[in-house]
Structure 1
Amino acid sequence: MGDLDGKVALVTGASRGIGAAIARRLAAAGAAVAVSARTVAEGESRFAGTIAGTVAQIEAAGGRAIAVRADLSKPAERESLVEQVAGRLGPIDVLVNNAAVTWFTPVTEFSEKQYALMFEVQVTAPFDLSRRVVPGMRERGGGVILNISSRAAIHPPPTRAGRGGTVYGMCKAALERFSTGLAAELHPDGIRVNALSPVKVVPTPGTLFHHLTTEDDPNAEPDDVMADAAYALCRPTPAGAEPLTGRVTYSQDLLDELGAAGARS
């Protein structure tokens, strides 16, 4: 028995890395988890990992999950994703917006197509998916929306040489402002909305590809730290505690605040 028993969670960008780790953690707490991404089978992406693989990991651990392919840059596929999850598992109680597509390119070299696609997947898609699940959450008296952000949203000093992360930081800053604004709007409905970032770079296939960290980096953050922090924000509010909502927070900082043991229970 887990404290997410009977709940339905949708995690986007869950074929690998942080998204897959969060999906596994929510399933371990009892949620029926829909994992979504574009990669269904190995070989469809330059990176290892598929939504079918994430489902297999969850089922091997005794959990329940389904895989739903979706290209979140396409409005019709976002609509279909929510409909498919609701049809197969039931109304969505927990939405984790994790999917991303990223180029680390200086502004002067950025193409309009890359710029538009990054904002479509990392800003418009969370906005759209959230609007689609909120009515059902309101009807049931509550729900959780968690947006996965990055410390790239923090304003850099003007004298620090960048690595082409300006547009990425713009996307994440917009996502964080969306999170706090939506939290305020939905607070009367009992729907919690938060933004969560890793404290340190997590060695995922994407961050390794962009040379942001290495597999043996002693300063990197394991993906299960983000997964535990995400669970802490998605679990029901403990009796007598204030609901966690409207937060722009960081993985290990949140676990330290709550007590890592309590967050993992």
Structure 2
Amino acid sequence: MSDKQLEGVVAVVTGASRGAGKGIAIALGSHGATVYVTGRSLNEGDAALPGTIGATAEAVTDAGGTGVAVACDHADDAQVEALFERVKAEQGGLDILVNNATFVHDQLIEPGGFWEKPLDMTRIFDVGLRSSYVASWFAAPLLVARGGGLMVFTSSFGARCYMHGPAYGAQKVAVDKFAADMAVDLREHDVATASIWMGMLQTDRTRRVMAQDPDKYAGFWDIAETPEFTGHLVAALYRDPKRMERSGQTLIGAELAQEYGLSETDGRQPPSHREMLGAPVQAHPAIVQ
């Protein structure tokens, strides 16, 4: 059921055919937002996992918002530019950007040294790192023109501990720093930024991994976050009158939820993994021009 607290708000969620992006988009839709859903999957079968941008956009609308599917390969700057030109033409501005699109290699979680894995593991630097900068670059003028906006990067504890190898870790560290540094440039325009560390997610990809080794992952599904959980956090952060005080920070989603009094729809409170996996390192306040 939609609560319409984001009615009139325009959001872009990148990489939303499935997984975290899909859940975030649907959650924002449940609050009444108009959500532009980007991705490459137009038809079932386009990817190894189920999900399309059209299905996500439809789910956003069903949740109470307005879903708009936009085919966009975030490795192609021209397609990203066209996306934001469309948002400007149709909506006149932008209120929320969620940078979620990333490249996830099939061998990401396989054991072995980084030199034993394919070199194209570095594609996460193209879609995941560079693509987040490019989307932010094109989105920033729209956020600045509107004022009062929010730019979010989805990240993880892999920014602090060893998780899935150095390519994955470097990408997560980098988007955390994007949030910190872009906050400095955007502060005078009343646009906030944040990087949100998500926990393990209840996605089709996670289900597939767990099915391959059920003993190893026993009990993990029960404590994992739904993909929608982060979307509700983004909505709460956007509505927070003190959001600029948090701008530039890296936030653990489960802890932010406790501050806002949010839980999963079944009342479950996802745990923070701070003690086990580490805590965010916030940027030093020094500014060198």
TM-score by length of 1: 0.86
Change over 3 Å in CA distance of 1:147–1:213 after alignment to 2: farther
C-alpha distance in structure 2 between counterparts of 1:185 and 1:45, whole Å: 37
Q: Does 1:141 align with 2:141?
A: no
Amino acid in the other structure paired with 1:114:
M
C-alpha distance in structure 1 between counterparts of 2:153 and 2:90, whole Å: 23
Asked if the contact 1:229–1:252 (Cα under 8 Å) also holds between the matched residues in 2, the reply is: no
Amino acid in the other structure paired with 1:76:
A
Residues 232-261 of structure 1 deviation map (CA, whole Å, 9 limit, x = unaligned): 22x2333x7764311211111101122227
Change over 3 Å in CA distance of 1:215–1:14 after alignment to 2: farther
C-alpha distance in structure 2 between counterparts of 1:260 and 1:145, whole Å: 20
Q: CA deviation at 1:2?
A: 2.6
TM-score by length of 2: 0.79
Q: Does 1:9 align with 2:4?
A: no
Residues 206-239 of structure 1 deviation map (CA, whole Å, 9 limit, x = unaligned): 3344459579722322223222222222x2333x
Amino acid in the other structure paired with 1:82:
F
What's 2:169 paired with? 169
Between 182-191 and 79-88, the greater mean CA deviation after superposition: 79-88
Amino acid in the other structure paired with 1:72:
H
* Secondary structure, counterpart of 1:46 in structure 2: coil
The correspondence of residues 49-60 of structure 1 with structure 2, limited to 5 A, is 49-60=51-62
C-alpha distance in structure 1 between counterparts of 2:54 and 2:219, whole Å: 24
* Secondary structure, counterpart of 1:146 in structure 2: strand
What's 1:159 paired with? none
* Secondary structure, counterpart of 1:101 in structure 2: coil
The correspondence of residues 159-238 of structure 1 with structure 2, limited to 5 A, is 164-198=164-198, 200-211=199-210, 217-233=221-237, 235-238=238-241
Segments of structure 2 that go 5 or more residues without pairing to the other structure are 211-215, 264-289
The correspondence of residues 1-265 of structure 1 with structure 2, limited to 5 A, is 2-103=4-105, 104=108, 106-115=113-122, 117-156=123-162, 164-198=164-198, 200-211=199-210, 217-233=221-237, 235-238=238-241, 243-260=245-262
> Identity over the aligned pairs, expressed in percent?
30
Aligned length, in residue pairs: 251
Q: What is the aligned-residue RMSD (CA, Å)?
A: 2.3
Segments of structure 1 that go 5 or more residues without pairing to the other structure are 157-161
Residues 152-202 of structure 1 deviation map (CA, whole Å, 9 limit, x = unaligned): 11134xxxxx6x43211110111101111111221111010000012x311
Amino acid in the other structure paired with 1:140:
R
